Amino acid sequence: MPGKRIGSEMASWKQLLIIATLGVVCLLAWTRIDPNAAMRLQAWGLDPALAKRIAGMDAATSTGSNGGQQGGGKRKGVLVVTAPVFTASIDNSVTAIGDGEASRSITLVPLEAGVLTAVRVSPGDHVKAGDIIAELDSDTERIARDRAALQERLAGEKVARMEQLTRSRTASAVQLDDAMGELETARLALRDAEVALQRRRIVAPADGIAGLVPVEVGAYVTTQTSITTIDDRSSLIVDFWVPERFAALISVGDPLEAEAVAFPGRPFEGTVSQIASRVDRDSRTLQIRGRIPNAEDRLRPGMSFRVSMKFPGERHVAVDPLAIQWSSQGPYVWTVADGKAKRLDVRVIQRNSDAVMIEADLKPGDLTIVEGVQSVREGAVLNMTSQPAAGGA
């Protein structure tokens, strides 16, 4: 029985020793991984010198100082890669969905009611200003035009006779004036008849592309009947709305990009052509109208577009994304001061793929550590290798 008790006590003692050893190993491993281990140990009440020794900061320094002797003349310090601080602009852009319309779209309707006798266009035809699109029955108007032309000719002949009689003193000047008045009246009647005849034709008022023709020859149409549409697609107008905070940033002529749903991945460049004079109170948005050239005639009115505009943003100091480190207190970077590492807390303003804009006591050209940060401690001597800046100054 006593032998069993002694064996049990020795086994417990060994287990406690193993647990204590593992705890010390874990503690040392933690101090090597956490760059803030020394500060945490000091916060727990340890002597600052002892805390730094446990955290390995003195060891790192001594290793760096002995490295020149053990490494055959290598430079002293922790090997790191640095990158200079630079400046970058905040990404200030807006994206909106817009609707495309032809730069000019005209719906043709008859000026008079009547029966269609001819339709001279088909959907998709290119028409010029002045081309006859359709015609209405015009027999009555032609007769009226011919009658007015006859009256104008007779009145002209009468004036010629009166001029001869007046020269021979056979007719008075008053009779000549009356004849000339009849001639002017006949001319006005002829013009009126010609206008009435022209109104029996539907004429293209501008160049463009004819749309669908929903009527047929022989149909009775009125002034409310649509014959066809004519769209000028040489350029498209895109209406979109932006938040009111961009009202002071947008001006006529500013560039924009519009990506049609029908052509994904292929943005079309355009410019701002019109800006609304007021902000919509309900949505707090401002209407913008852009113009997109359509020389290839690939875009169609009615298409939806994803419109994007970029504006110059404020410039801030920026660092390589690898320079940003995180702790429980927030983001920070390792900087270089007199060849030694220095921790500097920062505030992240905007993160991009190639730069992180920050607010910190830094200026362009200052060095930050981007590689080797896992071995860096406050005040550690550095063996630096530089890389170029990630952005422009």
- DSSP assignment of 255-267, as one string? EEEEEETTSTT-E
Mean pLDDT of 100-123: 93
Distance CA 130, CA 154 (A): 32
pLDDT of residue 52: 62
What 3-state DSSP class applies to 330?
strand
pLDDT of residue 21: 77
Residue 375 has pLDDT above 50, yes or no: yes
pLDDT of residue 43: 61
Residue 312, beta-bridge partner list: none
* Fold category of 95-102+229-311 in CATH: Elongation Factor Tu (Ef-tu); domain 3 (2.40.30)
pLDDT tier for residue 41 given thresholds of 50, 70 and 90: low
Distance CA 374, CA 32 (A): 8
pLDDT tier for residue 320 given thresholds of 50, 70 and 90: very high
pLDDT digits (tens, 9 = 90+) for 61-71: 444 444 444 44
Task: From 340, 370, 379, 337, select the one nearest 56 (Cα to Cα).
Answer: 379
Q: Which residue has the higher pLDDT, 189 or 389?
A: 189
CB atoms within 10 A of CB 72: 7
pLDDT tier for residue 318 given thresholds of 50, 70 and 90: very high
Distance separating the N- and C-terminal Cα atoms of the chain: 83
Q: Class of the 138-199 domain?
A: mainly alpha
Mean pLDDT score across all residues of the chain: 84
pLDDT of residue 64: 41
Q: Which residue has the higher pLDDT, 91 or 389?
A: 91
86 CB-side CA count, 13 A: 17
Distance CA 47, CA 52 (A): 9
Which structure tokens are listed for 192?
A: 């009126």
Which structure tokens are listed for 376?
A: 């860096």
pLDDT tier for residue 350 given thresholds of 50, 70 and 90: confident
pLDDT of residue 53: 65
Mean pLDDT of 144-166: 91
Mean pLDDT of 294-308: 91
Domain positions in the chain: 2-58, 78-90+315-386, 95-102+229-311, 138-199
pLDDT tier for residue 33 given thresholds of 50, 70 and 90: low
Distance CA 334, CA 302 (A): 55
* Fold category of 78-90+315-386 in CATH: 2.40.420
Question: Could you give the dihedral angle defined by the CA atoms of residues 211, 216, 219 and 224, in that order, rounded to the nearest 10 degrees?
Answer: -10
Residue 72 has pLDDT above 50, yes or no: no
DSSP assignment letter at 381: B
Worst-scoring range by mean pLDDT, 3-17, 50-64, 212-226? 50-64
pLDDT digits (tens, 9 = 90+) for 207-256: 999 999 999 999 999 999 999 999 999 999 999 999 998 888 899 999 99
